Amino acid sequence: MDKVFLYDQIRGSEEEKKLFNKKVKHIAYLLNTEADWLMLVMWFESRLNPAAVNSKSGATGLIQFLPSTAKGLGTTTEDLKKMSGSEQLEYVYKYLKRYKGKLNTLSDVYLTVFYPYAVGKPSDYVLGSQYSTEVAENIADKNKIFDTDKDNLITKAEVTSYFTAWVRSQGYTGDVNTNTTAKKKTFLV
């Protein structure tokens, strides 16, 4: 069996791990992105814990669904919390499928979860700036790890740089800028 990156970190029985692995690879194929990138985003957000809850925001699950996001997907964070990882992957897919065609780098995949509006924007785009400087500063205040230059604003480049460094610290040595799944699918067409 071809295992995804972080396979050993998947929670549950060996049967659950195999099912999760299979589903992540299938979802990546459907979304035209890399399975390992999906794994890294879920590891960063929840440590692959489908019951993980952010005590401040109420965000829950593998990609930290906000209560409003869960509702928009036809579920609740309480229901998500009760699901196995492989069950919850159905909602990960439901959420991410609206971004199919935009998941071309690891940063794109992460940003679809953290701040989707930034996907496709230039690297100097400031998160929240489409609303106001005050909103941008509030986002930076709540997400200090990404404000690497400590100017109380977060650029897309800062998120990309921080997340890429974090990914490398987890032992991932794969390409973070080349979507080989998309290239393979294009070749097959």
List, for residues 17-33, the tens digit of each pLDDT value: 999 999 999 999 999 99
Q: pTM for the full model?
A: 0.94
CB 73 within 8 A of CB 65: yes
Residue 7 vs residues 14, 49, 73, 189: alpha-carbon distances, Å: 10, 13, 27, 30
Whole-number pLDDT of residue 188: 45
Between 181 and 165, where is the model more confident? 165
pLDDT tens for each residue of 48-87: 999 999 999 999 999 999 999 999 999 999 999 999 999 9
What is the average per-residue pLDDT within 89-109? 97
Alpha carbon distance 170, 120 (integer Å): 26
Percent of the chain with pLDDT over 90: 93
Q: What is the pLDDT of residue 7?
A: 97
C-alpha 86, offset from chain centre: 16
Is the pLDDT assigned to residue 187 strictly greater than 50?
no
**Residues 160/123, Cβ–Cβ less than 8 Å:** yes
Q: How many residues does the chain have?
A: 189
How many angstroms separate the Cα of 49 from the Cα of each of 39, 69, 184? 12, 18, 31
Quote the pLDDT of residue 184: 59
Q: Write the burial class of residue 141 (CB in 10 Å: 0-12 exposed, 13-18 middle, 19+ buried).
A: exposed
